[in-house]
């Protein structure tokens, strides 16, 4: 058994100095636009091959891709694992098609837009579950188990649920309890683990869906060292359902990038070798960093929200003096530190699984200086602009509204109209309103605040009634 089967096959192929009479058009890096040849090493192009002899086939893997996927399944204790070259989004959509085609599905309202598109593709009937919020920070936590219990008895015909684990902000909200409740009631559980690829690698991290859910989809590119878009779908050990590859093959490209596949392959071998110890060391480094940050007076690191489990690799910083937007701006402009997400009341940063001390020191120095700068400022009024703790009234079904005739109207005319489109800001990619829901005063108030970034100045799509 090779430890990096895809990389080894690529190396063997490149060593032959092959003459390419096939795709891609750059012919193993022989024809590179000059502006790119100056900045990308030629070797990178040589690895950008296609599914030719001996390099296997992502849609029907039998060789090096199959071997690498098996290795991932072993490391992650999955029944089977599948490489994804179009992010977690494609894995989520395939899962919903596989388990919920034409059927009801429980969906917490704070989920990522790929879940909504999966629902539209599958003509599934979403049953939206209300979500608890942290009022102070204005961020979503998750579904209360009691609420799920009520919905389970109200909708006994619904046999699938999709749960995010963790949220964008790294909160793994009552996850075990929710999965157990769902499984005990005969549901199949799809877990959007886009932000939790590292969870099952170390027991000090929040629980992964891999222990008892049915389909778990992870954006390795978000927290692990692989190229952007590279993700993995795992089947849980107890998965009993349709062959997921049928749905993945329908949605994934027939020209998968070997740069992405090789990055997944390299990462799986790396994790198998040093995953636990690396994460162990990094958690220690992060804890030491947080310990040093306890002296901050005007900035605060949030490491406890409602006593829920939070991913230590996510750093949520709030301030009594400046907004999350201001903090993000100062970090970027003055210190060239780019954060993942800024909201009114907090700023979110993501640590790599292997953080070097010099990078931690640079962040530490910046936060100490900003803290000092803030001491002369007056206290900030805490406003909760983003708390959309409400599910807007729904007049028509999501899919029906999505495909219906629409018109674009000005915000001033939109109250009471049915939304024809998703209104989403990215990050975090969670819709404020979805097709079929009624645009109300609260929603309009949020849309009118430029600072919140919903970008709907020129008009809003509504269903023609």
Ligand X SMILES: Cc1ncc(COP(=O)(O)O)c(C=O)c1O
- Residues near ligand X (CB under 6 A): 87-89, 112, 114, 164, 168, 192, 194-195, 219, 231, 428-429
Confirm if 340 and 225 have CB atoms less than 8 A apart.
Answer: no
What's the closest the beta carbon of residue 264 comes to ligand X, in angstroms?
12
- Name the minimum Å distance from CB 365 to ligand X: 29
Say whether 384 sits in a helix, a strand or coil: coil
Tell me how crowded residue 144 is: count the other CB atoms within 10 A of its CB: 17
Instruction: Give whichever of 124 and 322 is closer to ligand X, judged by the CB atom.
Output: 124
Helices in 396-464 by DSSP H: which ranges? 398-402, 441-448
Return the C-alpha torsion angle 248, 253, 257, 261, nearest 10.
10
Enter the tokens of residue 260.
């992405």
Supply the minimum distance, in Å, between the C-beta of residue 191 and ligand X: 10
- Residue (165 or 387) nearer to ligand X, CB: 165
- State the nearest-atom distance from the C-beta of 306 to ligand X, in Å: 19
State how far the Cα of 447 lies from the Cα of 170, in Å rounded to an integer: 26
- Output 117 or 285, the one with its CB closest to ligand X: 117
Q: Residue 168 or 402: which CB sits closer to ligand X? A: 168
Phi, psi of 350 (to 5 degrees): -120, 125
Helix axis angle, 324-335 relative to 357-374, nearest 10°?
120
Q: How far is the CB of 359 from ligand X (least distance, A)?
A: 23
CB of 200 to ligand X, least distance (A): 17
Alpha carbons 345 and 317: distance in angstroms, whole number: 9
Q: Which is nearer to ligand X, 231 or 387 (CB)?
A: 231
DSSP state of 448: H
Comparison of 97 and 330: residue with beta carbon closer to ligand X: 97
Query: Looking at beta carbons only, is 20 or 117 nearer to ligand X?
Result: 117
Compute the least distance from the CB of residue 233 to ligand X, in Å: 11
Those residues with Cβ within 8 angstroms of residue 205's Cβ, 6 or more apart along the chain or in another chain: 196, 198, 199, 279, 283, 311, 312
């Amino acid at each position: 058994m090779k430890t990096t089967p895809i990389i080894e096959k690529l190396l063997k192929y490149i060593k032959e100095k092959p003459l390419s009479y096939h795709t891609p058009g750059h012919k193993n890096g022989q024809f590179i636009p000059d502006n790119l040849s100056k900045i990308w090493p030629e070797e990178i192009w040589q690895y950008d091959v296609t599914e030719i002899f001996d390099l296997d086939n992502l849609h029907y893997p039998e060789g090096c891709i199959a071997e690498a996927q098996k290795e991932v399944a072993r490391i992650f204790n999955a029944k089977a694992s599948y490489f994804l070259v179009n992010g977690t989004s494609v894995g989520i959509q395939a899962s919903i098609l596989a388990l919920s085609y034409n059927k009801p599905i429980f969906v917490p309202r704070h989920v990522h837009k790929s879940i909504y598109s999966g629902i539209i593709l599958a003509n599934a009937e979403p049953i939206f579950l209300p979500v608890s919020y942290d009022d102070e920070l204005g961020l979503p936590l998750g579904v209360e188990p009691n609420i799920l219990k009520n919905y389970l008895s109200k909708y006994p015909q619904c046999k699938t649920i999709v749960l995010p684990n963790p949220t964008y902000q790294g909160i793994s909200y009552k996850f075990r309890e929710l999965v157990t409740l769902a499984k005990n009631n005969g549901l199949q559980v799809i877990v959007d683990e886009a932000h939790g690829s590292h969870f099952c690698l170390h027991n000090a991290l929040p629980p992964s869906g891999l222990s008892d859910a049915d389909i778990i989809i992870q954006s390795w590119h978000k927290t692990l060292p692989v190229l952007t878009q590279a993700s993995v779908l795992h089947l849980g050990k107890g998965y009993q359902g349709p062959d997921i590859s049928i749905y993945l093959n329908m949605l994934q490209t027939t020209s998968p990038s070997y740069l992405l596949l090789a990055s997944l392959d390299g990462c799986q071998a790396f994790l198998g070798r040093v995953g636990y110890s690396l994460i162990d060391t990094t958690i220690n480094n992060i804890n030491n960093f947080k310990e040093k940050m306890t002296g901050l007076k005007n900035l605060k690191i949030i490491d406890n929200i409602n006593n829920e489990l939070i991913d230590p690799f996510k750093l949520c910083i709030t301030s009594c003096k400046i907004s999350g937007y201001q903090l993000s701006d100062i970090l970027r402009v003055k210190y060239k530190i780019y954060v993942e997400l800024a909201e009114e009341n907090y700023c979110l940063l993501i640590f790599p699984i292997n953080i070097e001390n010099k990078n931690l020191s640079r962040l530490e120095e910046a936060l100490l200086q900003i803290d000092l700068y803030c001491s002369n400022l007056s206290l900030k009024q805490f406003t909760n602009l983003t708390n959309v703790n409400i599910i807007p009234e729904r007049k028509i079904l999501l899919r029906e509204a999505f495909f219906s005739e629409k018109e674009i109207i000005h915000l001033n005319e939109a109250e009471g109209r049915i939304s024809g489109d998703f209104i989403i800001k990215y990050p975090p990619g969670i819709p404020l309103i979805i097709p079929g829901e009624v645009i109300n005063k609260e929603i309009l108030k949020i849309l009118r605040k430029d600072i919140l970034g919903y970008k709907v100045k020129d008009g809003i799509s509504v269903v023609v009634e």
